[in-house]
Amino acid sequence: MFVGVVLAVAGQETVTIPKARLEELQRKEAELEKLKGDLTKTKGENVQLKKQHEADATKIVNTPAPAVTHVSPPMNSLPPLTPATTVDAMDLADYYRHDAASAAQRFGKQVFKVQGEIVAFERPPFIRLYKIHFKTAEREMRVICEFQAPEKYRAVIIVKNGTQLMGLLPDHTEVPIAKVGDVVVVEGKCSGLSDSVVKMSRCELIGAAKR
């Protein structure tokens, strides 16, 4: 009797599966394994793409800006310098870079006009001065013009992430003075070259350059 009970229990645990059902289960299991493999492959590709993206981003950040192509006329071919003369900021920087002594002899302590594209503003703290940086062909050479804030302004402020210069009137109204990208003419006195900077002092913003 005991043997019969054991066989009966064993018989209950044995399940007979039709061949078609077994083949279907095997096919689904194979598809599941394939999906797992595809998922692993996709994860690997995503990791590789992420690494490539990071490498490309680093390359872009570390790639220096292309040099600006600019050819200045020979200094000895220029007419006499007068207060009415307008000198391109790129030329001024170029002359000081290649022949500082000759440039100092021609431009040093002279009053004249400088024309250029604004690339940055600077406002030292606690004083009523502000500075305009002009675009040059060489990043290591700069032309910077220094201004005294007009008396009509309570202050001169730099806004919009450093891209715009505004004058603040006594009633707190903000008046635009200039913005990055403007091409303007400035009149001032050349103070010469110092630390790769050609300095123009006592400057006055004449207005937009003629196109």
Q: Is the pLDDT of residue 57 over 60?
A: no
- Residues 157 and 202 occupy one common structural domain: yes
Asked if residue 16 is part of any domain, the answer here is no
| Residues 10-22, mean pLDDT to the nearest whole number | 64
- Residues 53 and 99 occupy one common structural domain: no
Q: Is the pLDDT of residue 56 over 60?
A: no
- Residues 85 and 166 occupy one common structural domain: yes
- Residues 46 and 80 occupy one common structural domain: no
Pairing of strands 111-122, 183-194: antiparallel
Tokens of 53: 């993206």
- Residues 115 and 162 occupy one common structural domain: yes
44: domain range? Answer: 21-63
CB atoms within 10 A of CB 112: 20
CB atoms within 10 A of CB 110: 15
- Residues 58 and 81 occupy one common structural domain: no
The pLDDT confidence band at residue 2, using thresholds 50, 70 and 90, is: very low
Residue 52's alpha-carbon distances to 7, 44, 45, 56, 71, in angstroms, are 64, 12, 10, 6, 39
- Residues 87 and 58 occupy one common structural domain: no
User: Between 67 and 45, where is the model more confident?
Assistant: 45
Q: Is the pLDDT of residue 8 over 80?
A: no
pLDDT of residue 183: 97
pLDDT of residue 54: 62
- Residues 54 and 81 occupy one common structural domain: no
The pLDDT confidence band at residue 60, using thresholds 50, 70 and 90, is: very low
- List residues bridging with 167 in a β-sheet: 156, 175
Q: Is the pLDDT of residue 75 over 80?
A: yes
Whether the pTM exceeds 0.85: the reply is no
- Residues 112 and 194 occupy one common structural domain: yes
**Average of per-residue pLDDT values in the chain:** 84
* CATH code at position 141: 2.40.50.140
Pairing of strands 86-88, 111-122: parallel
Over the stretch 76-94, which tens digit does the pLDDT of each residue have?
999 999 999 999 999 999 9
- Residues 147 and 184 occupy one common structural domain: yes
Over the stretch 99-143, which tens digit does the pLDDT of each residue have?
999 999 999 999 999 999 999 999 998 889 999 999 999 888 999
Asked if residue 68 is part of any domain, the answer here is no
Number of domains into which the chain is organized? 2
Q: Which residue in 69, 76, 72, 104 sits closest to 88, CA to CA?
A: 72
User: Between 187 and 140, where is the model more confident?
Assistant: 187
- Residues 152 and 183 occupy one common structural domain: yes
